[in-house]
Amino acid sequence: MNFIIESTVKAVKQLYQADIAPADISLQETRKEFEGQVTIVTFPFTKFSRKSPEQTGAEIGEYLKKSLKEISAFNVIKGFLNISICSAYWIDQLYTEILKDDFAVLKPNGKKVMVEYSSPNTNKPLHLGHVRNNLLGYSVAQILEAAGYEVIKTNLVNDRGIHICKSMLAWQLYGNGETPQSTGEKGDHLVGKYYVIFDKEYKKEIEFLKSEGQTEEEAKKNAPLIKQAQELLLKWEAGEEKVIDLWKTMNTWVYDGFGKTYKALGVEFDKFYYESNTYLLGKDIIDEGLQSGVFFKKEDGSVWIDLTEDGLDQKLVLRADGTSVYMTQDMGTAQLKYDDFQMDESIYVVGNEQDYHFKVLFLILQKLGKAWARGLFHLSYGMVDLPSGKMKSREGTVVDADDLIAEMESTARKQTEALGKINDFGEEEKEQLYHTIGMGALKYFLLKVDPKKRLLFDPNESVDFQGHTGPFIQYTHARIKSVLNRATITGMETDPTELAPEERDLIVTLTQFPDIITQAAIAYNPGTVANYVYELAKTYNKFYHEHSILQAEDELVKQFRLELSVASAKVISKAMNLLGIDVPERM
C-alpha cells in the first residue's frame, strides 16, 4: 500500500503546495459497511487545502484515480476517502506475493534479542501461571524471530534458597527414601509434595508453640523445622557434600519432570542459567557503582542507591554483612547475560508483581552507564486467578500444568470421537491429534488476551472449542486441506477478471500478514497474531460458504480458488506457528 501513500504525498504537494511526511498519512482498512479496501483520513489535510474535509477528500481522490491505474473507484464520506483497488491488483498480489515461499519472511534486521521466560522454582511443579508465562515467552520469541531478529531463548532456574531446603528437609524427615522410580510419580510432583508437607508440619509446630504462649511471630521464628531448614541452607552454602548430593539428586528429579512438561507445552530454550551459579554475582558491579558515586555506603556498611530524584525510593543493593540481595544478583546476571551474547535487546517475561523491581533494576543499570541497559524490557503479564482467588502452591490451590494438559486432551478426545471423522487413525496418531487440539484450545485461550491483563480461569468451565478458539482455526485449516486433497493444482494463472467480494476480502486479509508480524513484534503481543488469524479463518469460511471451489463455474476459476485456499492454509499455519500451535491435516 506504499504506492498509495507516496501518491498522496504528491497529491498534497501538487494540490496544496504543502510538504507532508508519509508517516503523517493515516491509511487504514476500510470499514466493512463502506465501499473500498483502504481509507485515507483527510482531516489532517484540511489545514493545507483550506477546504472542507469532503472537498479535500474528493480532490485527492480525483488526483489518485488519475495517477494510479490500480485505483478503480473512490468515494468520500465525511472526512474519509475510501479507495477501491481493482481486482487485477489483488489477483497479482496473490500470485506474486502471497503464494511465494518468502511471503511474510521478514529480512534479518541484524539485531539480537534475548527472551528470558519460564524461570521456575525447583521446589514445586509448574502451574497455570507458569503455563501463561511459558506460552507467552515462547510465542514472543517466535514472533521476534519471524520479524527478523536473531533470538536467544533463556531460562533462569531458581534452584537454590530456603524454599528448596524446605523440600529437602521434609523429604529427609518423612520421605522414607521415596524416589520417582519407586513411586512412579513425576519428579517435580514428588518434590512439590514434600514442599507442601513441610508447610503442613511447620504450621503444626507454630500452632503448638502458640499454645505454649509464644506470639505468632516468635513461633514462626522458633519452630524447629524452620531452624533446621536454615541450617540446611548454611550447609548448602558451605558446600557440604552430603547436602549438595541430596540437592543434586532432587534437582535431577525435578528437571526430569519439567522436561516432560516443557515438551508437552512445546517450548524450548537455547540456554539455561542457574541461580546456584549466579547468586553471588553482582559484587564487582557494587564496587563499580561505589567508585562512580552512583551508590553510597551507610554507616553500618550497607550499600544503597538513591532514586528519589526519579520518583522512586532509596534501594538497598548490598547488605551490611556484604551479602547479596535479589537486586545485586539480578544486576550481576544481567551483566553475565550481556557478556555471553552481546544482544541488542533483552526481554524478561515476568509477572506484573515485579514491575517495581524491574523498573529499579533497569534504572540502576542505566545510571551505571551500561549502554546495553536501554535494550532491557520487562514483559509484564497479569496473574492468572481462580474464581476463589489467587493460586497458592503451599496451600495446594493451584491448577497444575500437567493435570490441565491432560484435561484438555481428554476434552479434545470427546469432541473428536463424537464427530467420528478420524476412525481410520491409529491409536498413536489419535493421541497425537488430541494433544494438538487440546493444546490448541489452551494456548489460544491464554494467548489471545493482552498479556498485561489479568486472567480469570474457571476450572469448572472448560475452555471452549467453538467460536473464537484455537480448534475453530485448526478446523478451518483441516477443511481446506480436505478440499485440496480432492483436486489437482495445475499452476495455471487466472487472467484478471472481476473478483467476488469474498474472494477479494480474503486476499486483502492475507496481504496484511507481514504487517501483523511487525506489529506483534513491536508490541511484544501474541494477541495481535491470535486475533488476526481468527479474522483470517472467518474470512475464509465466509468465502467457502459463498463459493464452491470444486464445482466452480470453469476450470480457471476453480484453479484460482484452489490457489486462494493454498495461500489461506499456508498463512493460517504460519500464524498459528507463531503462537506455538500446530494445525492438523485432519481432525
- Considering only residues 378 through 407, tell me which ones interact with RNA, judged by CB under 7 A: 382-383, 390
Stretch that binds RNA, among 60-68, 133-141, 197-205, 412-420 (CB under 7 A): 412-420
- By CB under 7 A, the residues from 96 to 125 that bind RNA are none
- By CB under 7 A, the residues from 71 to 90 that bind RNA are 77-80, 82
CB 15 within 8 A of CB 59: yes
Q: What is the dihedral sign for C-alpha 159, 164, 167, 170?
A: positive
210 binds RNA (CB under 7 A): no
Stretch that binds RNA, among 34-42, 133-141, 335-343, 370-378 (CB under 7 A): 34-42
Query: HSE (CB half, 13 Å, CA atoms) of 286?
Result: 24
297 binds RNA (CB under 7 A): no
CB 35 within 8 A of CB 73: yes
Concatenated DSSP letters of 60-83: HHHHHHHH-TTEEEEEEETTEEEE
Stretch that binds RNA, among 139-147, 224-232, 289-297, 458-466 (CB under 7 A): 458-466
Dist. CA 133–CA 155, nearest whole Å: 11
471 binds RNA (CB under 7 A): yes
Minimum distance from CB of 342 to RNA (Å)?
Answer: 25
- By CB under 7 A, the residues from 342 to 361 that bind RNA are 352-357
In sequence order, what E strands does 260-399 have?
A: 271-274, 295-297, 303-306, 314-318, 345-351, 376-381, 384-385
Minimum distance from CB of 33 to RNA (Å)?
Answer: 6
CB 381 within 8 A of CB 454: no
300 binds RNA (CB under 7 A): yes
Among 43, 208, 272, 296, interactor with RNA by CB under 7 A: 43
Cα distances (Å, whole numbers) of residue 495 to 20, 60, 91, 547, 566: 38, 30, 9, 19, 18
551 binds RNA (CB under 7 A): yes
Stretch that binds RNA, among 250-258, 260-268, 321-329, 391-399 (CB under 7 A): 321-329
Among 464, 508, 556, 566, interactor with RNA by CB under 7 A: 464
Dist. CA 290–CA 284, nearest whole Å: 10
Q: CB-wise, 368 or 422, nearer to RNA?
A: 422
Stretch that binds RNA, among 66-74, 220-228, 260-268, 470-478 (CB under 7 A): 470-478
CB 191 within 8 A of CB 126: no
239 binds RNA (CB under 7 A): no
44 binds RNA (CB under 7 A): yes
479 binds RNA (CB under 7 A): yes
Stretch that binds RNA, among 142-150, 206-214, 246-254, 547-555 (CB under 7 A): 547-555
264 binds RNA (CB under 7 A): no
Instruction: Report which of 121, 503, 112 is spatially closest to residue 345, judged by C-alpha positions.
Output: 112
Stretch that binds RNA, among 110-118, 140-148, 246-254, 295-303 (CB under 7 A): 295-303
Q: What angle do CA 348, 349, 350 make, to 5 degrees?
A: 100
50 binds RNA (CB under 7 A): no
CB 295 within 8 A of CB 317: yes
Stretch that binds RNA, among 225-233, 285-293, 402-410, 472-480 (CB under 7 A): 472-480
Other beta carbons within 10 angstroms of residue 54's beta carbon come to: 16
- Does residue 173 sit in helix, strand or coil? helix
41 binds RNA (CB under 7 A): yes
Task: Go through 310-343 and write b for each residue having 16 or more CB atoms within 10 A of its CB, e for each that does not.
Answer: eeeeebbbbeeeeebeebbbbbbbbbebbeebeb
Among 319, 367, 407, 556, interactor with RNA by CB under 7 A: 319
Q: CB-wise, 211 or 485, nearer to RNA?
A: 485
Q: CB-wise, 96 or 548, nearer to RNA?
A: 548
What's CA 224's distance to the chain center, in Å? 43
Q: Across the strands, what pairs with 115? A: 153, 347
557 binds RNA (CB under 7 A): no
Among 94, 206, 404, 437, interactor with RNA by CB under 7 A: 437
Dist. CA 434–CA 440, nearest whole Å: 10
Q: CB-wise, 76 or 180, nearer to RNA?
A: 76
Q: CB-wise, 101 or 427, nearer to RNA?
A: 427
Q: Across the strands, what pairs with 40? A: 27, 81
Q: CB-wise, 93 or 123, nearer to RNA?
A: 123
Minimum distance from CB of 544 to RNA (Å)?
Answer: 5
Other beta carbons within 10 angstroms of residue 530's beta carbon come to: 27
Among 71, 343, 361, 587, interactor with RNA by CB under 7 A: 587
- By CB under 7 A, the residues from 160 to 179 that bind RNA are 161-162
